[in-house]
Structure 1
């Protein structure tokens, strides 16, 4: 570890232990796992289509 990184971690500006473990875990993942995570994240971020919103509204109104 370089002295700069060590100084940052001691001051709390560097990555936490949890963040370092998460980064290490991602580094060990195969390339397809990274692609799958990107695909999942892009689907989660998509807007709900208007037709689906309308359907949900009609179903809620029946209750």
Structure 2
């Protein structure tokens, strides 16, 4: 069994091979999600969000009848 001290070393960049399979998967998923969070928002999406904000401010409808 891995004690908490070893786990904290891994979360700070230690070797994932010292972890059990579940902990290793969790560590890799966390790294993946962190990298996705750090990606910039595409300009096209920002443009769509701006249009939505403008429509809401002008009292426009959401397209539903």
TM interval, shorter chain, is 0.5 to 0.7
Please give the root-mean-square deviation of Cα atoms over the aligned residues, in Å.
Answer: 2.4
Higher relative contact order (CA 8 A, sep 6+): 2
Listed as ranges, the gaps of 5+ residues in structure 1 are: 1-19
Q: Counting helix residues as a fraction of each chain, which structure ranks higher?
A: 1
Give the structure-1-normalised TM-score. 0.55
TM-score (normalised: structure 2): 0.53
- CA shift digits 1:8-58 (9 cap, x unpaired): xxxxxxxxxxxx6x827x567611111000001001000000000000000
